[in-house]
Amino acid sequence: MKFKKSKNDIVNEYIKALDDDIAPLFIAVRAAVLAAGASFNESIKWKNCLVYATEKNHIQTVVGKGKVSLIFFEGASLKDKYGLLEGDGSKARTMRITSTGFNKTALADYVKQTLKNSKLRG
Protein backbone atom coordinates (compact mmCIF):
# COMPACT_ATOMS: atom_id res chain seq x y z
CA MET A 1 0.00 0.00 0.00
CA LYS A 2 1.64 3.18 -1.22
CA PHE A 3 0.85 6.59 0.31
CA LYS A 4 2.50 9.91 1.09
CA LYS A 5 4.03 9.58 4.53
CA SER A 6 2.80 11.83 7.29
CA LYS A 7 5.13 13.74 9.59
CA ASN A 8 3.23 11.98 12.36
CA ASP A 9 4.32 8.33 12.74
CA ILE A 10 1.05 7.44 14.48
CA VAL A 11 -0.82 8.51 11.33
CA ASN A 12 1.46 6.33 9.20
CA GLU A 13 0.79 3.33 11.45
CA TYR A 14 -2.94 4.02 11.34
CA ILE A 15 -2.92 4.01 7.52
CA LYS A 16 -0.83 0.83 7.35
CA ALA A 17 -3.32 -0.92 9.64
CA LEU A 18 -6.39 -0.12 7.50
CA ASP A 19 -8.22 -3.08 5.95
CA ASP A 20 -7.32 -3.71 2.32
CA ASP A 21 -10.90 -3.09 1.19
CA ILE A 22 -11.00 0.51 2.50
CA ALA A 23 -7.32 1.56 2.32
CA PRO A 24 -7.29 2.68 -1.36
CA LEU A 25 -10.32 4.93 -0.81
CA PHE A 26 -8.92 6.34 2.43
CA ILE A 27 -5.55 7.06 0.79
CA ALA A 28 -7.25 8.78 -2.18
CA VAL A 29 -9.38 10.95 0.11
CA ARG A 30 -6.38 11.84 2.28
CA ALA A 31 -4.30 12.78 -0.78
CA ALA A 32 -7.08 15.09 -2.01
CA VAL A 33 -7.44 16.77 1.38
CA LEU A 34 -3.68 17.32 1.72
CA ALA A 35 -3.38 18.61 -1.86
CA ALA A 36 -5.99 21.27 -1.11
CA GLY A 37 -4.87 22.04 2.45
CA ALA A 38 -1.11 21.77 2.65
CA SER A 39 -1.02 23.69 5.94
CA PHE A 40 -2.84 20.93 7.83
CA ASN A 41 -1.30 18.92 10.64
CA GLU A 42 -2.53 15.33 10.88
CA SER A 43 -3.18 13.40 14.04
CA ILE A 44 -5.17 10.45 15.29
CA LYS A 45 -7.78 11.41 17.86
CA TRP A 46 -10.62 9.66 19.61
CA LYS A 47 -8.78 6.33 19.08
CA ASN A 48 -9.59 5.82 15.40
CA CYS A 49 -10.14 9.12 13.57
CA LEU A 50 -7.65 11.01 11.44
CA VAL A 51 -8.06 14.72 12.14
CA TYR A 52 -6.79 17.59 10.01
CA ALA A 53 -6.01 20.72 11.99
CA THR A 54 -4.18 24.04 12.05
CA GLU A 55 -4.53 25.91 15.34
CA LYS A 56 -7.78 23.99 15.84
CA ASN A 57 -9.48 20.87 14.46
CA HIS A 58 -11.12 21.34 11.06
CA ILE A 59 -11.93 17.95 9.53
CA GLN A 60 -12.41 14.52 11.09
CA THR A 61 -12.10 11.40 8.95
CA VAL A 62 -14.29 8.45 9.92
CA VAL A 63 -13.89 5.08 8.23
CA GLY A 64 -17.03 3.02 7.85
CA LYS A 65 -18.01 -0.09 5.93
CA GLY A 66 -17.32 0.78 2.29
CA LYS A 67 -17.05 4.51 2.91
CA VAL A 68 -14.94 7.32 4.26
CA SER A 69 -16.80 10.21 5.85
CA LEU A 70 -15.31 13.64 6.30
CA ILE A 71 -16.84 15.71 9.07
CA PHE A 72 -16.23 19.42 8.56
CA PHE A 73 -16.52 20.87 12.07
CA GLU A 74 -17.57 24.29 10.71
CA GLY A 75 -19.32 22.85 7.67
CA ALA A 76 -22.48 24.93 8.08
CA SER A 77 -20.43 27.96 7.04
CA LEU A 78 -19.34 26.34 3.74
CA LYS A 79 -20.97 27.20 0.43
CA ASP A 80 -22.13 23.84 -0.90
CA LYS A 81 -22.55 24.45 -4.62
CA TYR A 82 -21.99 20.72 -5.24
CA GLY A 83 -24.74 19.55 -2.90
CA LEU A 84 -22.54 16.91 -1.30
CA LEU A 85 -22.60 18.01 2.34
CA GLU A 86 -25.09 16.34 4.67
CA GLY A 87 -26.43 17.44 8.02
CA ASP A 88 -28.60 20.13 9.48
CA GLY A 89 -26.90 20.86 12.79
CA SER A 90 -25.75 24.31 13.78
CA LYS A 91 -22.11 23.68 12.81
CA ALA A 92 -20.91 20.36 11.37
CA ARG A 93 -21.51 18.93 7.88
CA THR A 94 -20.48 15.54 6.51
CA MET A 95 -19.27 14.44 3.09
CA ARG A 96 -19.60 10.68 2.54
CA ILE A 97 -17.28 9.13 -0.04
CA THR A 98 -17.80 5.61 -1.35
CA SER A 99 -15.66 5.49 -4.50
CA THR A 100 -12.20 6.58 -5.61
CA GLY A 101 -14.05 8.36 -8.42
CA PHE A 102 -15.38 10.93 -5.91
CA ASN A 103 -15.68 14.62 -6.78
CA LYS A 104 -12.15 15.83 -5.98
CA THR A 105 -12.99 19.35 -7.17
CA ALA A 106 -15.79 19.60 -4.61
CA LEU A 107 -13.60 18.24 -1.82
CA ALA A 108 -10.81 20.68 -2.68
CA ASP A 109 -13.33 23.53 -2.63
CA TYR A 110 -14.65 22.53 0.80
CA VAL A 111 -11.11 22.20 2.20
CA LYS A 112 -10.04 25.59 0.82
CA GLN A 113 -13.17 27.24 2.18
CA THR A 114 -12.52 25.64 5.57
CA LEU A 115 -9.02 27.10 5.73
CA LYS A 116 -10.11 30.50 4.42
CA ASN A 117 -12.98 30.74 6.91
CA SER A 118 -10.61 29.77 9.72
CA LYS A 119 -8.24 32.61 8.83
CA LEU A 120 -11.13 35.08 8.69
CA ARG A 121 -12.29 34.05 12.16
CA GLY A 122 -8.83 33.65 13.66
Question: What total number of domains does the chain contain?
Answer: 1
Per residue in 21-43, pLDDT (tens digit) is 999 999 999 999 999 987 899 99
* Contact partners, residue 93, CB within 8 Å, separation at least 6: 71, 72, 75, 76, 78, 80, 85, 86, 87
Structural domain of 102? 9-121
Helix, strand, or coil (residue 9):
helix
Phi, psi dihedral angles at 5 (to 5 degrees) = -65, 140
Per residue in 56-84, pLDDT (tens digit) is 999 999 999 999 999 999 999 999 999 99
Does a structural domain hold residue 79?
A: yes
CB 102 within 8 A of CB 114: no
Report whether pLDDT(1) > 80: no
Residue 56 corresponds to which amino acid? K
Does a structural domain hold residue 2?
A: no
Given this model, what pLDDT does residue 71 score?
A: 98
The DSSP bridge partners found for residue 44 are 50
First to last CA, the chain: 37
Does a structural domain hold residue 3?
A: no
CA angle 9, 12, 16 (to 5 degrees): 140
Given this model, what pLDDT does residue 120 score?
A: 62
